[in-house]
Amino acid sequence: MAGTNTMTKDPILKVDHLSMRFGGLMAINDLSFEAYRGDITALIGPNGAGKTTVFNCITGFYKPTMGMITMRQKAGKEYLLERMSDFEVNRDAKVARTFQNIRLFSGLTVLENLLVAQHNKLMLASGYTVLGLLGFPAYKRAAAQSIEQAKYWLDKANLIDRADDPAGDLPYGAQRRLEIARAMCTGPEFLCLDEPAAGLNPRESLALNELLRSIRKDTGTSILLIEHDMSVVMEISDHVVVLEYGQKISDGNPDHVKNDPKVIAAYLGVEDDEVEEVIEQIEEIAEVAPGDTHK
Amino acid sequence: MANITNTPESAGSNLMARALREAFYAGLVALGLFVLFVGLKTDQNILNELVLVQRWGLLAVFVAIAAVGRFLSVAFIRPYLAERKASKASAGVKEPGFVTRNFSMIAVAVLLVYPPIMVAIFGFQGSLKWVDNFGIQILIYVMLAWGLNIVVGLAGLLDLGYVAFYAVGAYSYALLSSYFGLSFWVLLPMAGIFAALWGMILGFPVLRLKGDYLAIVTLAFGEIIRLVLINWTAVTKGTFGISGIAKASVFGIWSFDVSASNNFAKVFGLPMSSAYYKIFLFYLILALCLLTAFVTIRLRRMPIGRAWEALREDEIACRSLGINTVTTKLTAFATGAMFGGFAGSFFAVRQGFVSPESFVFLESAIILAIVVLGGMGSLIGIAVAATLMIGGTELLREMEFLKHIFGPDFTPELYRMLIFGLAMIIVMVWKPRGFVGSREPTAFLRERKNVSGSFTKEGHG
């Protein structure tokens, strides 16, 4: 299951000619990429490159101006995510997500957070509340099973000792892990993580890498993540897509991307010889404009 | 003004000196503030001339109140509160006593024996006031507040027009019973269903709104229902209201109509009294309240109840977890409205008369105030708040002795809104999350730990 970077990969998510326009701003411009089944795909780029916008388009929170996003489940069923509303993307297409600024149910306990994530499954088991209200045994079984499921993920995220505490009471790193555990409790095939390592210290970052690897190994869930922390990106991802100004500038395995001159230019500015060109251009302009005293 | 509360008091004389100094400053400020407002008053004399009336005595009273109040506060009240706080902190967490642990059980038991005790103390005729004005009146508001609690406390949707569903329930019973002669036991569930239906009809267009906007629209909806009731005179008889609404019977077996052959008193050979009906109504509304509480407690442990609370905490996160927030909100609205409808039909049967007068905005505001004062989401807190609010205003009618103090023109119940407002301010300052601010989790692994009110949100949608 672990990512071997062969070319005969089975794409789980296909983004085709995706564009998103906010008024006059083209946040994403004709972006196409694929995420492969069983891979950890990283979406990186400088601030304002449109990474989170891509995420919001994939998970149904934004309706893209143009383009097509196809999610292909393991069983072969295909969903066009750009046509679905946000909750259907999770419920039907099995795409879960986390948020850049953590969104937990802070007044509910850690355990309850994970139970809410199993809402649709439990709703069905409780006969849309009616059978559950009457105390049918089928619902009791499902409820017990959902607690087991929650326990499994609490264990994985190393939160089992805090299960009965309010989620808002957890330290920051634990909240990040809980959000991932909560997303996994919805039983997704594709997990989108928006900057999961933001604000974590190196030790927590390492634990996060471990968690993501084990998610992929044990559940076969494919992961798409936005990340600024290159130690995380280069360490765990099988495939990296680089965005700048809403366009893809590089796509490939981490080694390829690391050495791509376009990526280096995007992150560090332009290269030396180009800098000279730019300076020449500025001087030409200065000569044309005589009123300018600066030289 | 210097207001140093955290300075450790070394000696009593020091404290007294400081209290006197601050009292002097407070008096000075009061003098400055009130000298032109209270000390001098412009008036017209008999020749229509503007004259300045001097009221130094009244001004002195104002200044004295400010100074003495400040002195007492600094010298006695603050040290006492600080001492109590310190002793509380050192004592640690106390094991809750027997009464605290079994509060709800004891409360239900007391309510069950309440009517017989009242009859035993005051006799049949004398117990009417205590069973009807206090018991039934309070329990109606408990039920309404518990119904609204589902919408506001659990789902976090601010509904300012809850009384509309109460009206729908009351009028469904009044109209269907007087036009079609259907019995209370048929119409009670129907009133609930109609109210729930109206909840959904209101919900569909407005649930895309959030926060303040939702509040305004629900407020308008409440007014629309009332205005329809006033103006649709052909059906509702407008402001005259519908009178002579049929009484409820004990499941159709015994009736409370005086002329009926199966009259309750006649069957059992008891002396005629209207108290039997009131006592029956008391147990009826108590049963309805317990039903509401039971359903609310059960629903909270169902996926839908957890989804409501999750919705209150974070709507976007809910959607990211595949929860259809529109249907979730609608079920909250409909469930809350249904209990409002039950309460409404009970109200109609109890009064025997309904008119749009009973369903003004103030009622919605009072119900909402009870929910907020009690602590959003907490059934016990809300019941306590309803008892204090409604029982308190009823008690004002009993304050006959106040007439001896303030003169025969004094009617204490006219001051109820003033006292109501003051009480709300005091409670909100003292306990900003209501009487019961903490939240009981619906599931636990090892131990059930209440969630402090500082983590829960009020909801915004």
CB contact at 8 A, A43 and A248: no
Mark whether A138 and A196 lie in a shared domain.
no
Mark whether A27 and A165 lie in a shared domain.
no
Q: Which of B295, B317, B446 sits opposite A163 (nearest CB)?
A: B446
The tens-digit pLDDT sequence of chain A (295 residues) is 344 444 467 888 888 888 888 888 888 888 888 888 888 888 888 888 888 888 888 888 888 888 888 888 888 888 888 888 888 888 888 889 898 888 989 888 899 999 998 888 888 777 777 777 777 777 888 888 888 888 898 888 888 888 888 888 888 888 988 999 999 988 888 899 988 888 888 888 888 888 888 888 888 888 998 888 777 788 888 888 888 888 888 888 888 888 877 877 777 776 556 656 666 666 676 666 554 444 4
Which of B296, B318, B320 is the mutation pick for testing A, counting most A CBs within 10 A? B320
Does residue B152 lie in a domain region?
yes
Work out the number of other CB atoms within 10 angstroms of the CB of residue A245: 15
Between CA B306 and CA A174 the distance in angstroms is 22
Does residue A29 lie in a domain region?
yes
Q: Does A131 touch chain B (CB under 8 A)?
A: no
CB contact at 8 A, B189 and B367: no
Q: Which of A61, A119, A147 sits opposite B303 (nearest CB)?
A: A119
Domain at A83, CATH number: 3.40.50.300
Mark whether B109 and B71 lie in a shared domain.
no
Between CA A82 and CA A32 the distance in angstroms is 14
Can you give the length of chain A in residues? 295
Give the number of domains in chain A.
Answer: 2
Mark whether A64 and A201 lie in a shared domain.
yes
pTM, two decimal places: 0.80
Of B68, B91, B114, the residue at which a domain comes to its end is B91
Strand, helix or coil for residue B345 = helix
Between CA B410 and CA B434 the distance in angstroms is 32
B50: β partners: B44
Work out the number of other CB atoms within 10 angstroms of the CB of residue B275: 21
Does residue A284 lie in a domain region?
no
Which of B445, B448, B452, B457 is the mutation pick for testing A, counting most A CBs within 10 A? B445
Between CA B94 and CA B82 the distance in angstroms is 19
Number of A/B CB contacts below 8 angstroms equals 138
What is the DSSP-derived secondary structure letter of residue B131?
A: I
Q: In terms of C-beta density within 10 A (0-12 exposed, 13-18 middle, 19 or more buried), how is residue B35 classed? A: middle
Residue of A nearest to B443 (CA): A112
What is the per-residue pLDDT for B291? Answer: 92
Token pair 């369903």 is found at B359
Domain that holds residue B311: 105-360
What sections of chain A are H helices per DSSP? 51-58, 86-91, 110-116, 119-125, 130-133, 137-156, 172-185, 202-219, 230-236, 254-258, 261-268, 272-288
Of B330, B360, B390, the residue at which a domain comes to its end is B360
Between CA A156 and CA A165 the distance in angstroms is 17
Domain that holds residue A158: 104-186
Mark whether A216 and A240 lie in a shared domain.
yes
CB contact at 8 A, B18 and B74: yes
Tens digits of per-residue pLDDT, B322-366? Answer: 888 888 989 999 999 999 999 999 999 888 888 888 898 988 988
First-last CA distance in chain B: 42
Does residue B406 lie in a domain region?
no
Mark whether A23 and A89 lie in a shared domain.
yes
Within 8 A by CB and 6+ apart from A1, the residues are A38, A216, A217, A220
Between CA A194 and CA A51 the distance in angstroms is 9
Give the number of domains in chain B.
Answer: 2
CB contact at 8 A, B345 and B188: yes
Mark whether A89 and A14 lie in a shared domain.
yes
Tens digits of per-residue pLDDT, B119-173? Answer: 777 777 777 778 788 888 899 999 999 999 999 988 888 889 899 999 999 999 9
Mark whether A16 and A155 lie in a shared domain.
no
Residues of chain B with pLDDT under 70: 1-12, 90-97, 252, 258, 260-262, 264-267, 269, 272, 405-407, 460-461
CB contact at 8 A, A54 and A28: yes
A252: β partners: A240
Of B91, B121, B147, the residue at which a domain comes to its end is B91
Q: Which of A106, A164, A182 sits opposite B446 (nearest CB)?
A: A164
Between CA B18 and CA B31 the distance in angstroms is 20
Tokens of B61: 């009273």
Does residue A1 lie in a domain region?
no
Q: Which A residues 93-112 touch B at CB under 8 Å?
A: 96-99, 103-109, 111-112
Between CA B151 and CA B440 the distance in angstroms is 18
Q: Does A235 touch chain B (CB under 8 A)?
A: no
Query: Taking CB atoms and an 8 Å limit, are A106 and B456 in contact across chains?
Result: yes
Strand, helix or coil for residue A75 = coil
Does residue B29 lie in a domain region?
yes
Mark whether B67 and B177 lie in a shared domain.
no
Does residue B316 lie in a domain region?
yes
Mark whether B64 and B188 lie in a shared domain.
no
The enclosing H or E element of A66 equals strand A66-72
How wide is the angle at C-alpha A100 spanned by C-alphas A96 and A106, nearest 5°? 80
* Smallest Cα distance from A198 to chain B, Å: 19
Chain B positions with Cβ closer than 8 Å to A: 295, 298-299, 302-304, 306-307, 309-310, 312-314, 316-325, 331, 439, 441-449, 451-452, 455-457
